[in-house]
Amino acid sequence: MQEKNKVTGTPVSRIDGILKVTGKAAYATDYPVKNIAYAVLFKSTIAAGTIRSLDTGPAEKSPGVLAVITHKNAPKLKIDGGIRGGALLQSPKIEFHGQHIGLVVAETYEQARHAARLVKVEYIKSEPRVDFEKLSKEAVLPKDKEKADAKRGDAKAALQNAEFKVEAVYGTPIEHHHPLEPHSTIAEWQGENVVLYNSSQIVNGAQMAAAATLNIKPENVRIVSPYIGGGFGSKGGQWANLVLTAVAAKVVNRPVKLALTRQQMVNSVGLRQKNHQKVSLAATKDGKLTALAHETTTHCAIENEFVEPCGDCSKIMYEVPNSLITYRVVPMNLILPTYTRGPGKSTGSFALESAMDELAYQLKMDPIEFRLKNEPTRDPSNGKPWSSRTTVQCLQEGAKAFGWEKRKAEPRQNQQGNFLIGYGVACGTYPAHQRPSSARVSLNRKGNAITARVELAAADLGTGTHTILAQTAADALGLPLNQITVKLGDSDLPPAAGAVGSVGASSYANAVHDACVKLTDELIAKSGKQFFVRPTAAQLMVSENVADYQTRVDAKPPANADQYSSHSFNANFAEVRVDIATGMVRVTRFLAVTGAGKILNPKTARSQIIGGNVWGIGMALTEESVVDPRWGNFVTRSFGDYHVPANLDIGAMEAIFIREDDRASNALGVKGIGEVGIVGVAAAVANAVFNATGKRVRELPITPDKLL
């Protein structure tokens, strides 16, 4: 992937790595704001009803307490200003267990936390709607037009007449994002203006939502978020905690810091919803798919709807003449679900790719061969040509690298001592889009020493965005990497897209690249000279004796981008080892082969892919947020109960990238890897478990009890 003399495409270590491992990188609550007070939220202990009375007296009298803010005294906020999930202390109504009902501000964190427990609340309870197993029968068509029934041909009829078919329901549980850095904010007012140091995946989005909700102008709100300790979608949309910190700071007339506790994370910042996905597949004897129906039932919040698009992979993965994609949703007394890594695709691919494996087994066909037989030449959902599609290469190169030929076609054929060994494969995909982003590039020359500064309000989730943008700028300006400074995560900088939906790398890198090209063009024009060989900006700064120069670009996706269907693709290979007696599963080897366009930095890209794979393995084997169906509370509120994979759960991880040059997608051919890394992973593991044990687990996670 590396071009000659280019730093782009090389495995450069993170330029902010030393800052991070030495603790010098300032995350939101690390800012040394003076005279700070501490806020702690307190939450409802019922899932549905109304607050009858609140006694805040003891809390107000508790040592160090500066204010207790509840719906009774909170300033008026705009509840539809873009903050997700409600809980803005605007009414006594309770819609989910653990809804914020107030916050205490005190001199110290401990004082605030203690006083928050002294508030006495009485409720008028109503019957909570929290038992999904019962309520799913009442699910209805979502309001979201994109979730309308999508039919092509007649899938039901084709299924009825099919000789080979699979019809099964695949269940995925509620999951939480649980970034290591809980959502946290410092709010500091300066007159009419408020600075919010806040962990934000969409810097400008946070600015807009905070301003609208606080009933002030966007230019009065500044978001500072240079580093993010993980977000996975939960810091994309902003939640009440951001605005309530600003409210608290206004009320006490001092800067205020508010950080959620781990336990508060389960009902403060969204979740991945529980899905029942019925997938029906039919094929001819020789393995040609004839029908695919993917019918998802899920839940949303009482007032607001969010439905993750579980049918998206099924829309485009395979050539099939009869297709049906549907969604049904039921409102429940739980916090609003939200974007969660690989939204819809990670969960949807578990259902689709498990069903593909089931049907391949029924057909006595190798699951790779079965997929290759149904490879579409164009996007089956809209007939558009692919900007590029690498599924075939991913499967074929992956099979070779993984040693797929060693897989036994029949399950339970590979026993080693107390363990059954199995191999599984599954494909994944995620859309590749470039979003409008601006960037400013400034050059400064002192003698012959030239430095560059790259600035945009982009977000670095911890994935290496600072680094890839420095690489992009270094090549485009003709400067060494260490002469580039990258400044991100500040709404005072030129506006940029969010680090969401795998749009970050393509949107930001194209903007930075364009800005560097424009800067060079302007320096050439300024020189008034004609060059046979295009000089670099760095050369021009010297030859034209320029001390300072800067320019800005407002980059947009290519005009013809939507003539193509543009996606990243992958194939995932898992080897599992299942303890015959205890049902404990270990993923001993995992390989993800990914086609995601131009890889700007193979080192950070690999980290991001295997990070997605690890979460996918967690999805497959360990992660589940459990709701008590009587009361709507989560019983899995700590890392002791919510099992993200530990090091010991993860075996050998390998990531291979397919080399591709997809300029139809965007000018640089960068497609994004954040989401696709988790897509298809759970199915690959579940398929491997079937190959090992002969047991088809359709309800995640695959805990030991399910394999007894």
Partner 1 sequence: MRPFKFTTVSDISSATNSVAGKPNARFLAGGTNLLDLMKEDVERPEELIDITRLNLTQIKPLTDGANEIGISIGALGKNTDAANHPLIRQHYPLLAQAILAGASGQIRNMATNGGNLLQRTRCPYFYDVAMPCNKREPGEQPGCGAREGINRMHAIFGWSEKCVAVHPSDMAVALAALDAVIKVRSASGPERIIALADFHRLPEDRPEIDTNLRPGELITAIELPKNRFAEKSYYLKVRDRSSYAFALISVAAALELDGNRIVQARIALGGVAHKPWRALKAEQLLVGQEATEANFKRAAEAEMADAKPLEHNAFKVELGKRSMVRALQVALTGNRS
* Minimum distance of partner 1 from residue 53's CB (angstroms): 18
In angstroms, the CA 388 to CA 658 distance is 11
675 is catalytic: yes
Which residues within the stretch 29-68 sit at the binding site for partner 1 (CB under 8 A)?
45, 63
Does residue number 419 form part of the binding site for partner 1 (CB under 8 A)?
yes
Does residue number 705 form part of the binding site for partner 1 (CB under 8 A)?
yes
Does residue number 133 form part of the binding site for partner 1 (CB under 8 A)?
no
* Minimum distance of partner 1 from residue 617's CB (angstroms): 10
Does residue number 588 form part of the binding site for partner 1 (CB under 8 A)?
no
State the DSSP code for 447: T
Does residue number 131 form part of the binding site for partner 1 (CB under 8 A)?
no
Q: What is the CA radius of gyration of the chain?
A: 26
Does residue number 622 form part of the binding site for partner 1 (CB under 8 A)?
yes
Question: Of the ranges 508-516, 548-556, 638-646, 654-662, which one interacts with partner 1 (CB under 8 A)?
Answer: 638-646
Contact 674, 608 (CB under 8 A): yes
In angstroms, the CA 445 to CA 452 distance is 9
* Minimum distance of partner 1 from residue 419's CB (angstroms): 7
Does residue number 416 form part of the binding site for partner 1 (CB under 8 A)?
yes
Question: Of the ranges 27-35, 305-313, 606-614, 647-655, which one interacts with partner 1 (CB under 8 A)?
Answer: 647-655
Contact 89, 69 (CB under 8 A): yes
In angstroms, the CA 630 to CA 596 distance is 45
Among 156, 400, 630, 659, binds partner 1 (CB under 8 A): 630
Residue with tokens 């897209």: 497
From the centroid of its chain, how far is CA 79? 25
Does residue number 635 form part of the binding site for partner 1 (CB under 8 A)?
yes
| Tokens linked to 479 | 């400067």
- Which of residues 114 and 272 has its CB atom nearest to partner 1 in the complex? 114
Among 198, 201, 374, 633, binds partner 1 (CB under 8 A): 633
From the centroid of its chain, how far is CA 3? 30
Q: How many CA atoms lie within 13 A of 567 on its CB side?
A: 26
Amino acid at 373: K
- Which of residues 40 and 394 has its CB atom nearest to partner 1 in the complex? 40
Which residues within the stretch 475-534 sit at the binding site for partner 1 (CB under 8 A)?
none
In angstroms, the CA 540 to CA 532 distance is 14
In angstroms, the CA 569 to CA 432 distance is 10
* Minimum distance of partner 1 from residue 41's CB (angstroms): 14
Does residue number 294 form part of the binding site for partner 1 (CB under 8 A)?
no
Long-range contacts made by residues 134-140, C-beta under 8 angstroms, separation at least 24?
A: 134/629, 135/299, 135/330, 135/332, 136/276, 136/297, 136/299, 136/328, 136/330, 138/330, 139/297, 139/298, 139/299, 139/328, 139/329, 139/330, 140/328, 140/329, 140/330
Which residues within the stretch 257-276 sit at the binding site for partner 1 (CB under 8 A)?
263
SS (H, E, C) 1-27: CCCCCCCCCCCCCCCCHHHHHCCCCCC
Does residue number 615 form part of the binding site for partner 1 (CB under 8 A)?
no
Catalytic residue, candidates 188, 295, 660, 675: 675
Amino acid at 77: L
Does residue number 645 form part of the binding site for partner 1 (CB under 8 A)?
yes
Which residues within the stretch 429-448 sit at the binding site for partner 1 (CB under 8 A)?
none
Does residue number 413 form part of the binding site for partner 1 (CB under 8 A)?
no
Does residue number 382 form part of the binding site for partner 1 (CB under 8 A)?
no
Does residue number 108 form part of the binding site for partner 1 (CB under 8 A)?
no
Question: Of the ranges 344-352, 363-371, 403-411, 698-706, which one interacts with partner 1 (CB under 8 A)?
Answer: 698-706
Q: Which residues are catalytic?
A: 675
**Interaction site with partner 1 (CB under 8 A):** 45, 63, 97, 110, 113-114, 117, 263, 416-419, 581-584, 586, 621-622, 626, 628, 630-631, 633, 635-641, 643, 645-649, 701, 703-705, 708
